[in-house]
Amino acid sequence: MSFFLLLKQKIFCRMLVTIQLMVAIDFHSIFSILCKSMATVNCLVTRGAATFSGPPEQRIHLGWLGVVGGGGVPPRDIHRKRQEKDLSELQSLIEAHFIQRKKDEEELIALVNRIEKRRTERAEQQRIRTEKEKERQARLAEEKERREQEEQRKKLDEDAKKKKVLTNMTHQYGGIQQKGRKGAKKQTEREKKKKILAERRKPINIDHLSEDKLKEKASELWQWMMQLEAEKFDLSEKLKRQKYDVSADIKKQQNNRFESLRRL
C-alpha cells in the first residue's frame, strides 16, 4: 500500500512539472488535465490496494503495472509512458485550442467585415434618401413659387380688366354728363355773354366832342380795354384751375370705385 502511495506522489509531482512547462495552455485546460490525471492515479491506487488486500483467488493480475511479484515493467517505465500520454493529450488540447481560437478569430473578422459593410450600405442609403428628400423639397418650393406667381399674375390681370371696365364706364357716363353740361353751359354762357355785352356795350356819341374831350374819351376807352384784358386773363386762369380740379376729382372718384370693387 505504501508503494502505491509513493507512486501516486511521484506521478503527481511529474505532472505538475510538465504542466508548469506548458505555459501556452489556459487555466481551464490545465485544471481539466490535472483532474483527469488524478482520477487515473486514484483508480490505479484503488485497484492495486484491492489486489493486494483481497484473497489470492480474487486478486487481479496487474502485470501491466509491473508491481505484482516484483516482475514485469518497472514503475519508472509506467511513469514515463503515462507522462508521454499526458503530454500527447496536452498537445492535442493545445492544438485544438489554437484551432478553435483561429476559427473564432476568423469568425470575428468576418463579423466585423459584415458590420462595416452594413454600416457603409446604411450610410449610402441614408445619403441617397437625403438627396431625394432635398430634391423633393426643392420641387415643392418651385411649384409653390410658380403657383404664387401665377395667382399674382391672374390677380393683376383681373384688376387691370376691372379698372379698364370702370374707366370705360366712367368715361361713358362722364361723357354723357359732360355733353349735357357743355350744352347747358354753352347756352348759359352765350346768354350771359350777350347780357354782359349788352350792359357794357354803350353807344358812343362823339360827334359833339371837342379834341380834348376825344382824347379823354380815347384814354378812358383804353383803360377800359386794359381792364377787360386783365379780367379775361384772370378768368382764363380760373378756368384752368377749375378744369384741373375737376379732372383730379374724376380720377379720385375712379380710384375710389375701383378700390370698392376690389374689396367686393
* pLDDT tens string 101-122: 888 889 889 898 999 999 999 9
Of the pLDDT bands very low, low, confident and very high (cuts 50, 70, 90), residue 19 is low
pTM for the model stands at 0.29
- Specify whether the CB–CB gap between 93 and 25 falls below 8 A: yes
Side-chain-side CA neighbours of 97 within 13 Å: the count stands at 13
Could you tell me the CA-to-CA distances from 116 to 100, 103, 111, 123, 220 in Å, in that order? Answer: 24, 20, 9, 10, 120
* pLDDT tens string 196-233: 777 766 666 667 777 787 788 788 888 888 888 888 88
- Specify whether the CB–CB gap between 48 and 65 falls below 8 A: yes
pLDDT at 37: 56
